[in-house]
Structure 1
C-alpha cells in the first residue's frame, strides 16, 4: 500500500523578498505568521527579526515574491543569496505535489568587496559572471512536503522518528543539489527556510487500463559527486565514486498498490582517461591499473550497501554483458 512520508517541520511555500540598501528581508507570506529573516548585504550575516523595517521616500525597497531559498554561495570575497523566483507544478510524487524551478534569482551580498584588494575584486567579478549562468540551471525539482532524494523503497524504510525530521536532515547528500548552499542556513538553524532541491528529470502521468487508472512516475536523480560534461569527466575517483552517476526510478500505482523499479548508471568504475579527438570511438586508457581492483571493489560495495543485490550490465562494447552480484 502507498504510504505518505511527511516531515514534522513545515517549509515556507511563499515568501516576499524586500531589497533594502543594507539588507534583504525574507518575509513568509503563506499564513505561517513567522518572523522574517534579515540577511546583511555587507557580510551576509543572518538573523530573525520582529518585522519588516518601515520604508520611506529615501528607503524604498524593491519587492519580489519568491517560492523558496536555494541557499547562500560564498565566492572569493562576497556571498550570494540564491532564491526560486518562479516555479511550475510538475506532477505528483507519492501523493505530494512536485514543483519544477523555472527561474532562479541571485542577490549579491558583496558590499564588503569595496575594501578588498584589486586581485580579489578581479576574481570576484570573474566568478560572479560564471555564477549568473546558474540562473538558467535546468532540471531542478523540489517538494515542500516529502523527501525527493530517496527512492520510494528507502522512503518507506525510514523510521517514524526520521520521518519527523526536517526534510534537509532526511535527505540523501548524494542527490541534494543545494547541499553546500544550505550550510549557512543550517548553521543558523533556519529549518523552515531549508528547501532541498534535486537535479534530474521528473515526469508523472496517468493512463487507463480497462476500468482502472494507473499512475506512472519516472524520476531520475543526478548525483552531485563528480559531475561534468561527458567528454571531460570520466571514470571513478580513488573512493569508487563514478562520474555522472544517476539513479532512475519508475513508480507504478494502481488501486492503492505501488511498485517501484530502480536502476543506476554511471561511468566505468576505474581510473581512466580518454583523449577526445575526431575519431568515432576514441580509445581510453586505464590510469594506475594496479589500483583498478580496489576502486572497483569500493564502487560495488557502496552500491550493495545502498541498493542490495546488484545486477550489473556492461554497455561498453556492442555485445551486452550482464553480471549478477550478490556478494563481492
Structure 2
C-alpha cells in the first residue's frame, strides 16, 4: 500500500499558487501545486525548486482534507492540528483537531468575506469541522473493516488508501499525475482502544464506528430512506480483539503490530428503510409522517441488496414500540419486508420496552437466546499469525434499529458484542466454558466504558446529547440515577433538535455535497434573510422569554419580608394561561429546504 505524506509545508506564491511540500520525504520529493486562478492541480517533478519569493506558512500541514466550492470561491481545507488516539497494529490513529480554510480566489478573505452569504457558508463549514469527530491514519485503512482489507489485500498492495473527489479527479496514476500520496482518507466516526490483561495474556480491545456520508445529518432532519437506498444514521461498528501468544513470566512484550490472533466482529445500524419523517412543531414529540410511495419497495430492496453484497446475510432486529406513537413506523417496515421476502434476510422483532420494563434490563438475554444460534453460525473474522488464510470469516451481520438508532440500539449492540467476545475468548482457550467477561472486573470495566463512550459519541453526532440508558452499558445495571440523567439528556435533545439542528443539517448538506451553493451570492440571500412577518419571527423569542420569567419567578429568592394576602395569585393565574396556550411556531432549516431533498441534485464530496 502506498504511503501517505504525514507532514507538509505550505508555500504561498503571491496570489498565484499554493505549493505543498512533503517534509522529510527523501531525495525524490514531489511537491503539489494548486493554481489559484484556474484551480488546476499539478504534481511537480521530483526536486522542483521552490520559487525564491514564495512565502512559507508557519503552520505544519498534517493532511489535505479536500476542496469545497462556495459562492465566491473554491477553498482548500487542510488539517493543521491532530491528536494521537492510539496505536492499532503498529499504526498511529489520529483525530483532526484543527483546520485551515484556504481560498483559491485571492480577493476573498476567509475571516472577513465581503458578502454575507459567503460568510454564512464559511461559518457552516467551520462549525461542521469543529463539531465533527474526524479520524485518519497514514499507513492503515481505518475506513474499512479488517475482513474487507484482507479480502482485497493483493489488489490493494500497490494502490493508495482511497480509491475529496476534486483531488481524485485530478489524479492520473497511469500518466505523470499520481496524487495518491497526498490524498488522505478521513472518516467521521469513533475510535477507542484499551490494552488489557486476562488470564496471563496481553490483549487489546478496540472499537471503531464508521458513519456513512450518505443521507448524513441530524435526528429530525434525516429520517428513513432515500431513492438510492441510503438510510439516515447508518453506522458500521467493528469490535477488534488483538491477542498476543502465550508468554512466559517476565518475558518482554512484543511490539504493537505483532499479535498471534486478530479477531473482528461487525454490526450495523440504520434508520427504518421506508420513507418517513418527523416534523418539528415545538411539541416534545414531533408530527410523524409515513409516506406510502410507490417507490418504497424499490428503495427498500436497493438498501437490503446493498447490505447483502457488502456484509452477507442480514438479521434485522427491530426494537420499535408495537403500539402508540411509534407503531406506524413498525407496521410500514414489517409490511415491506414481508412483501419483498428476500432470501438472506431474516426479520426479528423485539419488544424492548415491554420486555425490559421496570428496569429489568437483564431481559435483553431473551433476545440473545433468540439470536445466539445465528450469531455462532455467521461467526466473526479471525486471523492467526501461524496460518496464511483466515481461520474464520464473518458471513452475515445483525442490523439493529430503534426509532433513532441510538439508545435502545446501543444497549442491544453492546450485549451482542459481549456475547461474541465471550465466544472468542473461550475458543482461544483464554476463558473456560463457564466463564465470561464479567468475571474479570478490570476487563469488564474496559469493555463497558468502550461501548458507553462509543454510544455517547454517536448519539451526540445525530441527536445532540449523550446516549440514554448508558448507565446500563457502563455498570451492567439500570439505576434511578441513570434514569434521572436520561431526563436531563432528553431536555437537551429537545432544545437542540428544535432550535439548533437546522443549521447543523445545513452544514452536513453543504460539506457532503447534497446542497451546492449558487455561484451568484446575490441569488442566495434567502440564506441570511428571513422573509416572514416580524410578528411571526418574534413568537419563539417572546415565548422563550416568558418561560424564562416564569421559571425565574418560581425559583429566585424573595427579597422582601412583607407578603400581602394576594401574594403569588397573579403568578399562578399567568402560569395557568401559559400551560393552556399552544405554541404554533415551527422551526426549519434556513438553507434551501426546497433544494436539499431533491433526488436529482448533483452530489459531490471533496
Q: Which runs of 5+ in 2 are unaligned?
A: 245-259, 324-329, 346-606
Aligned: 1:230 with 2:219: yes
Correspondence for 2:199 among 201, 210, 231:
210
Q: Which residue of 1 aligns with 2:272?
A: 268
Aligned: 1:180 with 2:160: no
Q: Which residue of 1 aligns with 2:315?
A: 311
Q: 1:168 to 1:245 in 2, by over 3 A?
A: same
| TM-fit CA distance, 1:261 | 1.1
**Number of equivalenced pairs:** 303
Q: 1:135 to 1:308 in 2, by over 3 A?
A: closer
Q: Which residue of 1 aligns with 2:51?
A: 53
| TM-fit CA distance, 1:142 | 0.8
Correspondence for 2:9 among 16, 25, 29:
16
Q: Which moved more, 1:243-252 or 1:60-69?
A: 60-69
Aligned: 1:292 with 2:273: no
| Cα displacement string for residues 29-80 of structure 1 (whole angstroms, at most 9, x for unaligned residues) | 123331222222333322234121113xxx6543321111112222234211
Q: Which residue of 1 aligns with 2:228?
A: 239
| TM-fit CA distance, 1:313 | 1.0
More helix by share: 2
Q: Following the alignment from structure 1 to structure 2, what is the Cα–Cα distance between the partners of residues 219 and 230?
A: 21
TM-score (normalizing by structure 2): 0.46
Correspondence for 1:88 among 58, 83, 88:
83
Q: Which runs of 5+ in 1 are unaligned?
A: 1-6, 115-119, 170-178
> Secondary structure of the residue that 2:125 maps to in structure 1?
helix
Indicate the structure (1 or 2) with the bigger Cα radius of gyration. Answer: 2
> Secondary structure of the residue that 2:21 maps to in structure 1?
strand
Q: Following the alignment from structure 2 to structure 1, what is the Cα–Cα distance between the partners of residues 24 and 69?
A: 29
| TM-fit CA distance, 1:245 | 0.8
Q: Following the alignment from structure 1 to structure 2, what is the Cα–Cα distance between the partners of residues 80 and 234?
A: 30
Aligned: 1:259 with 2:263: yes
Q: 1:141 to 1:185 in 2, by over 3 A?
A: farther
| Cα displacement string for residues 162-201 of structure 1 (whole angstroms, at most 9, x for unaligned residues) | 23211112xxxxxxxxx43543553653111011111101
Contact kept in structure 2, 1:199 and 1:221, CA below 8 Å: yes
CA RMSD of aligned residues (A): 2.7
More strand by share: 1
Correspondence for 1:27 among 12, 16, 21:
21
Correspondence for 2:58 among 63, 74, 78:
63
| TM-fit CA distance, 1:121 | 5.9
| Cα displacement string for residues 118-164 of structure 1 (whole angstroms, at most 9, x for unaligned residues) | xx966444433433334414211111112122111111111412232
Contact kept in structure 2, 1:27 and 1:36, CA below 8 Å: yes
| Cα displacement string for residues 78-111 of structure 1 (whole angstroms, at most 9, x for unaligned residues) | 2111111011211133432211111111111113
> Secondary structure of the residue that 2:25 maps to in structure 1?
coil
Q: Following the alignment from structure 2 to structure 1, what is the Cα–Cα distance between the partners of residues 181 and 305?
A: 36
Q: Following the alignment from structure 1 to structure 2, what is the Cα–Cα distance between the partners of residues 145 and 280?
A: 46
Q: Which residue of 2 aligns with 1:79?
A: 74
